[in-house]
A and B are shown apart, each in its own frame.
Chain A
Amino acid sequence: MDLTTTFTQSLDELIQQVMPSLVVVRGRRRGAGAGFIWSSDGLILTNSHVVGRHAPKLILQDEQEYKSQLLARDPNVDLALLSIKASGLTPLEPASVSPRVGEMVFAFGHPWGQRNSVTKGIVSALMSAHTRRKKQQFPVIRSDVPLAPGNSGGPLVNMRGEMIGINAMIMGGDQSIAIPASVVVEFVDRFISKKSGKAHRDKYIPEGVL
């Protein structure tokens, strides 16, 4: 088999692998964002700024619409955890390895309402950003994937089909900022440990953990 055919097939496989986990997050107001399935029993992750004030409606790949419940949110790192009553969903695994500058990435989302779009790019820099009111610093991934409104909350995926970040922001038109998987995992862990009743102070997100 020639190289381009192998390449196209690998691309196709990767997209088929990730796409079932992509969801539409529809708030009360017009416009929608993206999100993805975190666990098979109905945990969904998206950006805090996509969720708005009310728990949004979610549309899965089978076009089923779900009412969601807002479990946790942290505007400082722009993340929100939602849950729906469902089971047997296909979760998107967070990357086990750290992102590297130069590696190829795909953004999954719904730019300008175009459902299930995939855009390509590379990790262009690993930087840190300030939380609101500049209280803390946390790592972010800068990439050159083209993003548009509707991409927010969608996953940034590496060539292994793993989630390396959540697309959150567009800077200057040609730079995209994603919240890295390490921060996402920490955010979910924080919620779960809170729920299990353990005394758990908010962990400081260390700098440069990418």
Chain B
Amino acid sequence: MSKNILIELSDALADAAERAGQSTVLVNARRRIPASGIAIAADLILTANHVVERDEDLNVTLPDGSELSATVAGRDPGSDLALLKLERAAATAAEPTKTPARVGQIALALGRPTTGGIQASLGAVSAIDGPFRTHHGGLLERTMRTDCIPYPGFSGGPLIAADGTVLGLNTSGLTRGAAITIPTDIAWSVAETLEKHGHIRRGYLGIRSQTVEIPSDAQKSLKRKQTSGLLIVGVEKKSPGAKGGLIVGDILVGVKGSPISHHDELFTHLTGEVIGKSTAIDVLRGGKLESIDVVIGER
């Protein structure tokens, strides 16, 4: 008799939950019910920043029931991620996905808000969008939405594929009322930076700007099709922008040769890598294109 496809699918989902559940831990760091976290290494737990309300007296309960104390290795409120370091290396690291998530694929959201065992919710990846500016000043290149039910305490837990690999980290701290998923590649790279520096380094220019249309004659001097830029309406005193020579009235149109027509695009360039480096900022000044070197500061 051929195997029943329903049983196979059902068993596969339960296997996936069991497997990834080995890397899903309980994070006890707030007054309310505990939340969840993902072991990304034997001694490192990645979780949602908003569930880590305390900096001291943090506990992590592993799937086998052992309770370990932990310290905050780093936080990034911008992307709502926090990295915890365990007192000893005892966790089972999760396996990140090798194939990026696709809209329509089935996924399980896992959580471990109690010591009673792993919890799961089934759904599909409903949308992959981005870039997404969070209200804490972060920028996520991509985010995912699913129709999994975000049960209480699921924040910080993984979204997994049917094979048990991790597609992302679920959090309800970035959008009011709804949960979104931070894709694994982004979450893991934030974790790497948090492990090294304790926080996410963000570049700083010190300008206030607004999006404006570029006049047609100025577009000619740009020599490319770009219809909008950022009009600088304020430059903070002694800021990197001021030191570099940016002035009110400049229209910022590019960084390092790539066009900037919206704030989000400028944000994606002001990463940790450009801090302290002389960076070419293209501006339209008096209708003419000028390149101004600015040493980017750190926020």
**Which of these binds chain A: B74-82, B118-126, B275-283?**
B118-126
Residues of B within 8 A of A144 (CB): 121-122, 149
A10 to B10, CA, bound (A): 12
A193 to B21, CA, bound (A): 40
Residues of B within 8 A of A128 (CB): 116
| Chain A residue, CB-CB nearest to B9 | A104
Q: In the complex where A122-B13, A122-B122, A159-B9 touch, is A102 in contact with B18 (Cβ < 8 A)?
A: yes
B5 touches A104 (CB 8 A): no
B149 touches A102 (CB 8 A): no
Instruction: Choose from B5, B6, B13, B151 the contact partner of A102 (Cβ within 8 Å).
Output: B13
Size of the chain B interface, CB-CB below 8 angstroms = 25
B17 touches A102 (CB 8 A): yes
Q: In the complex where A122-B13, A124-B151 touch, is A101 in contact with B121 (Cβ < 8 A)?
A: no
| Chain A residue, CB-CB nearest to B160 | A102
Q: Which of B17, B120, B149 has the most CB of A within 10 A?
A: B120
Asked if B117 lies at the interface with its beta carbon under 8 angstroms from chain A, I say yes
A6 touches B5 (CB 8 A): yes
Asked if B4 lies at the interface with its beta carbon under 8 angstroms from chain A, I say yes
Residues of A within 8 A of B18 (CB): 100-102
C-beta contact mask, A96-107 vs B, less than 8 Å → 1, else 0? 000011111000
CB A51 to nearest CB in B, in angstroms, measures 30
C-beta contact mask, B1-14 vs A, less than 8 Å → 1, else 0? 00011110111011
A129 to B151, CA, bound (A): 18
Asked if A60 lies at the interface with its beta carbon under 8 angstroms from chain B, I say no
CB A100 to nearest CB in B, in angstroms, measures 4
A127 to B153, CA, bound (A): 15
Asked if B58 lies at the interface with its beta carbon under 8 angstroms from chain A, I say no
Instruction: Choose from A127, A160, A174, A175 the contact partner of B7 (Cβ within 8 Å).
Output: A160
Residues of A within 8 A of B6 (CB): 7, 10-11, 14, 104, 159
Residues of A within 8 A of B108 (CB): 102, 122
B4 touches A10 (CB 8 A): yes
Instruction: Choose from B4, B21, B119 the contact partner of A124 (Cβ within 8 Å).
Output: B119
A122 touches B5 (CB 8 A): no
A174 to B6, CA, bound (A): 23
Residues of A within 8 A of B139 (CB): none
Asked if B16 lies at the interface with its beta carbon under 8 angstroms from chain A, I say yes
Residues of B within 8 A of A101 (CB): 14, 17-18, 21, 117-120
- Interface positions, chain B 147-183, Cβ under 8 Å from A, are 149, 151
| Chain B residue, CB-CB nearest to A3 | B5
Asked if A156 lies at the interface with its beta carbon under 8 angstroms from chain B, I say no
CB B150 to nearest CB in A, in angstroms, measures 10
Asked if A121 lies at the interface with its beta carbon under 8 angstroms from chain B, I say yes
B122 touches A102 (CB 8 A): yes
B7 touches A159 (CB 8 A): yes
Asked if A126 lies at the interface with its beta carbon under 8 angstroms from chain B, I say yes
Asked if A182 lies at the interface with its beta carbon under 8 angstroms from chain B, I say no
Residues of B within 8 A of A100 (CB): 14, 17-18
6 additional contacts, CB 8 Å, given A121-B122, A160-B7? A6-B5, A101-B18, A102-B16, A122-B120, A123-B120, A144-B122
Residue positions of B touching A, CB distance < 8 A: 4-7, 9-11, 13-18, 21, 108, 114, 116-122, 149, 151
Residue positions of A touching B, CB distance < 8 A: 3, 6-7, 10-11, 14, 100-104, 121-128, 142, 144, 158-160, 174-175
User: Which are the 4 A-B pairs with shortest beta-carbon distances?
Assistant: A102-B17, A100-B14, A159-B10, A125-B119
